[in-house]
Amino acid sequence: MIYPSIDKLVNKVESKYTLVSLASKRARQLRENERDIRVDKPISKKYVGIALEEILDAKLLFEKPKVVDR
């Protein structure tokens, strides 16, 4: 079984696209600076897995950009 569950993760963000984008950006940040891990004891040893755990634990938040009407 995959941890964390995709169903639980999609509830934290608005779409799968947002989830993939957010996790990939965070994984790149973690690769550059491993000391910045926000979960206490990550289960995963890979950066993408750690990023997904941070999203699940609400340690990594996403703010939807505001659309400006013209």
Name the residue range of residue 46's domain.
Answer: 6-56
- Which amino acid type is present at position 31? R
Instruction: Give the span between the Cα atoms of 28 and 44, in whole angstroms.
Output: 15
Identify the pLDDT of residue 30: 95
Domain annotation covers residue 39: yes
- The pLDDT tens digits of the residues spanning 1-35 come to 578 888 899 888 888 999 999 999 999 999 999 88
Domain annotation covers residue 63: no
Domain annotation covers residue 21: yes
Q: Provide the CA 13 distance to its chain's centre, in angstroms.
A: 9
Considering its fold, how many domains does the chain have in total?
1
Specify the 3-state DSSP secondary structure of 3.
Answer: coil
Identify the pLDDT of residue 50: 94
Provide the percentage of residues in the chain whose pLDDT is more than 70. Answer: 99
Domain annotation covers residue 66: no
Query: What is the average pLDDT value for the chain, to the nearest integer?
Result: 88
Domain annotation covers residue 65: no
Please tell me the pTM assigned to this model.
Answer: 0.84
Provide the 10 A C-beta neighbour count for residue 19: 19
